[in-house]
Amino acid sequence: MARTLRSAPFGSPAYRALVQVVRQVKGDDPLRPVTVVVPSERVGVAARRALARGDGTPGIAALRITTLRRLAESLAATELVAQGRRPLTGTRLAAAVRDLLTEEPGVFGPVAEHVGTLRAIVDAHRDLRELPPGATDRIPDDEAVARDTARVHRALLERVRLDGYDEVDLLDAAAATAHRVEDDVVAFLPRDSTAPERALLDVIAAHGELHVIDGAEDPTVVADRVVHASDPDEEVRSAVRDVVDVLRDGTAGHRIALLHTAADPYARLLHDHLSRAGVTYSGRGVRTTVETRFGRGLLRMLQLPEHGYRRDEVIGWLTDAPVRDHGERVPASRWDRISRTAGVIRWASPGGWERLTAFAAERRTRAETAEPAPADRLRREADDADALLAFVTDLRDRLERCAHATTWADLGDELTGLWASAVAGEDFDRLAPDEARAVERIGAAVEGIGALGDGTPDAVMARELLEMQLSEDTDRVGTIGTGVHVGPLSEGYGEDVDHVIVLGMAEGLLPGRHVDDPLLPDRVREPLGLPTIAERTRRRHRDLLAALSAAPRGGRTLSFPRGDLRGGGVRVPSRWLLPTLRALTGDDSVSSTSWDRTAAGVEERPSYAGSVLGRAEPATPQEWRQKAVAAGSPPSDEIRERAAQVRAERSVRTFGPFDGDLSAERLPVPGEVSSISATSLEGWARCPFAYFVSRMLRAAAPVQPEDVVTLSPLVRGDIVHRTLHQLVATAGKEGWLPEPGRPWPDDTREVLDELAREQFTAVERAGLTGAALLWRDDQEAILEDLTAWIGHDDALRGGGDLRPVVTEWEFAGVDLPLPDGRTVRLRGAVDRIDRDPSGRIVVTDYKTGRRPRSDDTDPWNGGRRLQLPLYALVAAEEFEHPAGEPVRAGYWYVTGRERFERTDLEIDDELRASALTTVGAIVDGIAGGLFPPRPSGAQHYLGRVRIDCPACEPDGLGERVDGDDWMRLADDDRLAELPAVRTLLFGEES
């Protein structure tokens, strides 16, 4: 029984030594079993390839390559499981630590409930596990935090070792059975072995043959070149271009290593730019399991109860995660639209999910009288509302059972069932490999909640423990040994490649800035034999030397950024880069603050533009396209060409297809086939482009119920309109409608109050009220206005002996003749029509907003105020207004703020013709495809007219069109053929 030790330089010499040792062990028997213990699976793949190549006689028969942990599992895992012990997860340890701190918090009392405390103690426990029993007794008495950490560590061991085991337990158990190992064992490049690992190897050596091949550091190794770029982003792009060049020269991808000194920002940048370049790579992933859609789905689901199942959070979860209901993906977009329309905010009233019940009932009621196509849509919406409510109710009930579970086992069962049915129900075989791995790991973590012991379960703590475990679980990218190897500097240990590039060789990144452990500071670690900051720094330097030795001379590159655009500031070369800089320059006085950018072997990479334009063969498709554009021969790209056309046409401030000119398109004439409302006609006059967006494209920004703070003017107006309509309708039906000249009865106020409160209830159910406090103020203001309206209405009717004829009179399909012989089919609803003793009608349109400034020269305000004349014309025909008599019509501002003023017009034949001419001009503009964005003229800033139209300026900056641009449109040739449209939009002066 013997142990042999052989030292070999890192890189290819170490692998040649491995081949020689294995050949020597096998001797003349190629089938002699040999086990090669490697520090990582990646090194194992490289070792297998080296042994397969051999030294002229390739072959890997009777050869097992494994890590020390895998070897220990093969020796002892079965026996440990037979004892009822299971591998200890971070979740199990953190839960046990939480129970211990609950029982006796010690110095951790103020922070015992923080998940960060649990994470820190678990990390300290793992460090202390490497020590022999009793070692923690040497911690000085004045180190209160360290001693209490050791106390929790010892208690934790006692609590979990009966039904669980960790890596130290596994190694100890394996050492007890290692005498059964019959193979010759070769330990290849053992790295930072712990005491339990050394004990296992000692037993193997005591009972068999152990051959150790240790890596020999070469402190004199330096790189062949140094590359520096402006910042990490450009540094990564530069490295990827170098990789592409090496690959084009014929080097295999697995013979190239890209190593970084800091995961942030290099890991994601490398993965991103290699993917863009189409380079196959493998290595440690940059996305943790909790960042996958399945991980986010689980945690977001468990967070829903914290804010009362807010609608936006529920819909955000449904949209982001692969949520399923009865095995099918939920219709997240439809459910979002329906819950938004129903006014759902959160579970608790007001604004509860029960609003979906009223929404479904209302849709089914409307479907009973609707046409077949709209009726089908309404019924589908009702069915979706029922399904959404059933889904959220079931989800809430199941999460409530989780919150009230009495044991961790029950909580684990509930979470496992919920995870499996709601999130993980997707066809597993159809998932991408990384997502399939994530589902497996999440499922195992969720099941592990049920094995957290006999303590009191806590659903919030379960979520935090799951988040802690899944955030530490990083996926892998690609297949080990396939493509370029990408990873941290530590993975340069044991590497054997032709080219190695190390990025981030700047001070502050290498060596990094270390902070003393608050639980086990260095003054405690050093006497105990635990790694200190100095030891970890020494290991980092060894990793750099090993990484440089991994490639032969001519294939070693070190790179660093001169600055950092993210954090700001200037960076200087790392102190560990200085030996290379001094070797390349031949100047031993070179320092981090004084080095020659132009020395031989030191390459300054140009800016991004310079790199793209200066390379004969760009690295990525994006760089190819940019280079072609710069050369004046851009590739065909419809999207880019259309974008360039948009910018070009808008920059010259002409009226074109990107500013609302659809004159080349065949558009339907409004009111010719289907009816059009007066409000729609006013909408085009107000802003043609907004009409196009809202009426023709039917696009509008959705209103989120949770964003509604106060009652909108539109809803306020609806409340007032419906209340006054119900008052007149009720009085007429019950026979107490006042006669001409007579006031309303004394009890009208009570009836009006009751009717208004019915409308308040309806608005509350729809979720349109906003904040409760402001809503109370709004109700009081509305009731005050309605009460005052009674007296003003008495005065109105008394002054003209008027009697209400009808309120909320709706009409549709009324043909309105235009002066040129055409007709427009009109629809609308008149708020109120009264009649005087002579038979003349009076048309009233209630307004609850502010009264606009009057314009005596244009009563229709450029087409923006057409409701009155059109309603008056239609009502005159329907209600037999005396022929030849003008129709009185007026806007009545029924609020105390506007003093209940009316603006009346006597619409005679001249005004009638004027209104119909305006309608004809609007119809011509719509049919002619003219939809320019129209500046409001309401606000001026630095000489520019700001557009306050959401359709024209969605970003609210108001910079798309100014007043000069608008007036320039008056001279456009397309308007010359439509003089009425030009006059309507720009006035007589145009």
What CATH number corresponds to the domain at position 38?
3.40.50.300
Domain boundary among 162, 180, 202: 162
Average pLDDT of span 143-159: 95
pLDDT score at 487:
95
Q: 338 and 467 share a domain? A: yes
Domain-located, residue 777: yes
The number of domains in the chain is: 6
What pLDDT does residue 720 have? 95
Distances from the Cα of 832 to the Cαs of 582, 859, 869, 901, in angstroms? 93, 21, 14, 16
Q: Is 357 helix (H, G, I), strand (E, B) or coil?
A: helix
- pLDDT tens sequence across 580-636: 999 998 888 888 888 766 677 899 988 888 888 877 788 888 888 888 888 888 888
Per-residue pLDDT averaged across 857-873, rounded? 88
**Structural domain for 102, as ranges:** 86-162
Quote the pLDDT of residue 504: 96
Residue 965 above 70 pLDDT? no
* DSSP sequence for 618-646: -SSHHHHHHHHHHTT-PPP-HHHHHHHHH
* pLDDT computed for residue 631 by the predictor: 83
The band of 105, judged by pLDDT with boundaries at 50, 70 and 90, is very high
User: Taking phi first (over 0 means left), then psi (-120 to 50 degrees means alpha), and beta for anything else, what does residue 899 get?
Assistant: left
CATH number at residue 370: 1.10.486.10
Q: Which residues contact 977 (CB under 8 A, 6 or more apart)?
A: none
Give pLDDT, residue 111: 92
| Amino acid 177: pLDDT | 93
Residue 140 predicted with pLDDT over 90: yes
Say whether pLDDT at 113 is over 90.
no
Q: Is the pLDDT of residue 565 over 90?
A: no
What mean pLDDT comes out for the span 237-254?
A: 95
Q: Is the peptide bond prior to 579 cis by the omega test (within 30 degrees of 0)?
A: no
CA dist 736 and 759 (Å) reads: 22
For residue 547, the model assigns a pLDDT of: 96
| Residue 739 and residue 727 share a domain | yes
Do 815 and 951 share a domain, yes or no?
yes
Strand partners, 85: none
Predicted confidence at residue 741, as pLDDT, reads: 82
Reply yes or no on whether the pLDDT at 963 is more than 60: no
Inside any domain, residue 612: no
Q: Is the pLDDT of residue 862 over 90?
A: no
Average pLDDT estimate for 91-111: 91
Give 970's pLDDT tier (boundaries 50, 70, 90): confident
pLDDT of residue 351: 65
Mean pLDDT of 933-951: 60
Phi and psi of 36, rounded to 5°? Answer: -105, 120
Residue 509, pLDDT > 70, answer yes
Note whether 439 and 325 are same-domain residues: yes
* CB-side neighbour CA atoms (13 Å) of 250: 0
839 belongs to a structural domain: yes
Q: Are 123 and 153 in contact (CB under 8 A)?
A: no
- Is 470 part of a structural domain of the chain? yes
Q: What is the mean pLDDT of the chain?
A: 89
Instruction: Report the distance separating Cα 860 and Cα 857, nearest Å.
Output: 9
Q: Is the pLDDT of residue 265 over 70?
A: yes
Which is more confident, 497 or 287?
497
Q: Are residues 859 and 937 in the same domain?
A: yes
Residue 661 or 40, more confident: 40
Q: Are residues 339 and 454 in the same domain?
A: yes
Backbone φ and ψ of 737, nearest 5°: -65, 125
Mean pLDDT of 563-581: 89
Residue 274: inside a domain: yes
- The pLDDT, as a whole number, for residue 820 is 87
Q: Does residue 557 lie in a domain region?
A: yes
Among 460, 477, 494, give the residue marking a domain's end: 477
Q: Is 964 a residue whose pLDDT tops 80?
A: no
* Vertex 944 angle, CA 940 and 947, to 5°: 75
DSSP 8-state code for residue 419: I
| Model pLDDT for residues 304-346, shown as the tens digit of each residue | 999 999 999 999 999 999 999 988 899 999 999 999 988 888 8
DSSP letter (8 states) at residue 189: S
Say what the pTM is: 0.80
Which tokens go with 700?
A: 């509008």
Pick the closest to residue 71 from 205, 155, 187, 217 (CA basis). 187
Helix (H) or strand (E) holding 817: strand 803-817
- pLDDT level of residue 894 (50, 70, 90 thresholds): very high
pLDDT at 169 (0 to 100)? 94
Query: With 70 as the cut, is the pLDDT of residue 388 above it?
Result: yes
pLDDT of residue 769: 84
Q: What token pair was written down for 894?
A: 């029924």
Better-scored residue on pLDDT, 425 or 555: 555
Least-confidence region, from 51-65, 469-483, 892-906: 51-65
Q: Are 252 and 397 found together in one domain?
A: no
Mean pLDDT check: name the lowest of 29-33, 211-215, 637-641, 974-978: 974-978
One domain for residues 731 and 762: yes
Tell me, yes or no, whether 626 lies in a domain.
Answer: no
Grade residue 745 by pLDDT with cuts at 50, 70 and 90. Answer: very high
Residues 683 and 736 in one domain: no
Q: Same domain, yes or no, for 94 and 71?
A: no
445 and 332 fall within a common domain: yes
Q: What percentage of the chain has pLDDT greater than the value 90?
A: 59
- Confirm whether 689 is domain-assigned: yes
Among the candidates 580, 603, 626, a domain finishes at 603
Same domain, 150 and 178: no
| pLDDT score at 240 | 95
